[in-house]
Amino acid sequence: MNLSRRKLIQLSAYSSLGLILNQKVFSQSTRQSMNVKPIKIAVLGLGNYAEHWIAPAIAQSNYAQLTGIITGSHHKIPAWQKKYSIPDSNVYTYSNLEEIANNPSIDCVYIVTPTGTHTEFTVRSFEAGKHVICEKPMAPSVTDCDRMIKAAESANKTLQIGYRLYWDPYNVRLMDAMENKEFGFLSGMQGGFSYDHGRWAKDGDWRMNPAMNPGGALFDIGVYVVQSAFYSTQMHPVSVTARHTTERKSIFKEIPEHWNWELTWPNSWVSQHSASYGKQENFLRLHTEKGELSLEPAYSYEGLSGVTPDGKMEFQPIFQQRRQIDGQCLAILQREPNLTSGAMGRRDIQLLNAIMEAGESGNPVILNSFY
């Protein structure tokens, strides 16, 4: 089943606005000329990614304003308030999240917490009448995803997943080439994303807790590999085989250290993929009629590199998360399409769950119709 061609047309629209490929930098006057007010965002979860990437991206966005915080870590509140001029009236805890319903200074909640908490916080934010941007992966299960999607529909608000690579020029170049079959048909694919998390894993690390991070590396970073398989093929796989292994069992007591899986596609060819907390890799390779397209690194926040049969990709460095925030706020404003919908997040969780099932059973899993 082919993915919607409209998604790539939408990406082209972003390119013409300068949000992706032409690297145009928007200014305050651009927002004013579009006659839009910034989306007022409260960040829920003040961990490393929120502090060093999402909050600065919101602060630099032309279509967003960081107006609130929601946290379970009270000691972090003063520094955030000082840095982003957040008043006491816009500071909330996880226990009083519902009170944002009465705060017009918050339009949207950006959820930056472990995967196991996403469903609860997303549903509660929608019940408070706010839009939601939820970090990847969307949730532990398809059932959880369905709850989140239903909550968005009931609230008549927008649900988006934090898939930043839809605004990265290297990945968008690859998406466009594959959608248009610029280099002919695809005949093979390999992708992997791994790092040695075991070196610094500590007691209480949420990434080592299957309730917070199902499957370990498979969900945490394997979701990028799953995403790239979908946007590289523009198809849905028909079956999956998988296996997981653990070498350092004294460290990886509850989650596997390594994951490997193979996807079979409608035209019967098979692709190979991996995710691990025990080695280093970050690549995507596509084999086409006219040669190889590759990204290495493929999934990082910065420093990406890529080649096509025409030669090396050349793009200026960008702040991916800022482009992401710009695009997602424009989607909330209904000025641009929702490129990273809850339906997309659900599709990815469906495949991740199937990989886990195949890895546990040792048997192929047939993939039924996607959402």
Instruction: For residue 296, give the CATH number of its domain.
Output: 3.30.360.10
Model pLDDT, residue 371: 64
More confident call, 169 vs 29: 169
DSSP string, 47-104: SHHIIIIIHHHHHH-SSEEEEEEEES-GGGHHHHHHHHT--GGGEEEGGGGGGGGG-T
Say yes or no: 95 and 188 in one domain: no
Given the DSSP bridges, would you call strands 131-134 and 108-111 parallel, antiparallel or unpaired? parallel
Model pLDDT, residue 124: 99
Residue 325 domain-assigned? no
Residue 27, pLDDT > 60, answer no
Residue 69 domain-assigned? yes
Residue 95, pLDDT > 70, answer yes
Model pLDDT, residue 19: 37
Residue 326 domain-assigned? no
Q: Examine the fold and report which residue of 107, 135, 164 is the final residue of a domain before the chain moves on.
A: 164
Say yes or no: 43 and 131 in one domain: yes
Residue 332 domain-assigned? no
Say yes or no: 138 and 215 in one domain: no
| Closest alpha carbon to 182 in 303, 271, 23, 313 | 313
- What does the pLDDT average to over 104-114? 99
Say yes or no: 203 and 56 in one domain: no
Residue 18, pLDDT > 70, answer no
The domain total for the chain is: 2
Say yes or no: 155 and 285 in one domain: no
Say yes or no: 232 and 156 in one domain: no
User: Which CATH number fits the domain that encloses residue 17?
Assistant: 3.40.50.720
Q: How confident is the model at residue 104 (pLDDT cuts 50, 70, 90)?
A: very high
Residue 259, pLDDT > 50, answer yes
Model pLDDT, residue 369: 82
- What does the pLDDT average to over 222-234? 98
Say yes or no: 184 and 300 in one domain: yes
Given the DSSP bridges, would you call strands 131-134 and 159-161 parallel, antiparallel or unpaired? parallel
Question: In the predicted model, what is the mean pLDDT of the chain?
Answer: 93
| Closest alpha carbon to 41 in 81, 77, 68 | 68
Say yes or no: 31 and 137 in one domain: yes
Residue 268, pLDDT > 50, answer yes
Residue 327 domain-assigned? no
| Distance in angstroms (rounded) separating the CA atoms of residues 213 and 251 | 15
Residue 329 domain-assigned? no
Residue 88, pLDDT > 60, answer yes
- What does the pLDDT average to over 30-56? 89
Q: Examine the fold and report which residue of 137, 164, 191 is the final residue of a domain before the chain moves on.
A: 164
Say yes or no: 202 and 86 in one domain: no
Residue 241, pLDDT > 50, answer yes
- What does the pLDDT average to over 327-343? 98
Backbone angles phi, psi at 183, to 5 degrees: -115, 25
Model pLDDT, residue 370: 79
| Distance in angstroms (rounded) separating the CA atoms of residues 110 and 43 | 5
Say yes or no: 173 and 310 in one domain: yes
| Closest alpha carbon to 276 in 252, 296, 304, 253 | 252
Q: How confident is the model at residue 20 (pLDDT cuts 50, 70, 90)?
A: very low
Residue 330 domain-assigned? no
More confident call, 5 vs 360: 360
Residue 356, pLDDT > 70, answer yes
Q: pLDDT for 182-224, tens place per residue?
A: 999 999 999 999 999 999 998 899 999 999 999 999 999 999 9
Residue 85, pLDDT > 60, answer yes
Q: Which domain holds residue 297?
A: 169-316+341-366
- What does the pLDDT average to over 79-96? 99
Give the global pTM.
Answer: 0.92
Which of the residue ranges 35-39, 166-170, 236-240, 244-248 would you say has the lowest mean pLDDT? 35-39
Say yes or no: 80 and 177 in one domain: no
Residue 44 domain-assigned? yes
Say yes or no: 156 and 173 in one domain: no
Residue 34, pLDDT > 80, answer no
Q: pLDDT for 113-159, tens place per residue?
A: 999 999 999 999 999 999 999 999 999 999 999 999 999 999 999 99
Model pLDDT, residue 368: 85
Q: Examine the fold and report which residue of 113, 143, 164 is the final residue of a domain before the chain moves on.
A: 164
Model pLDDT, residue 31: 52
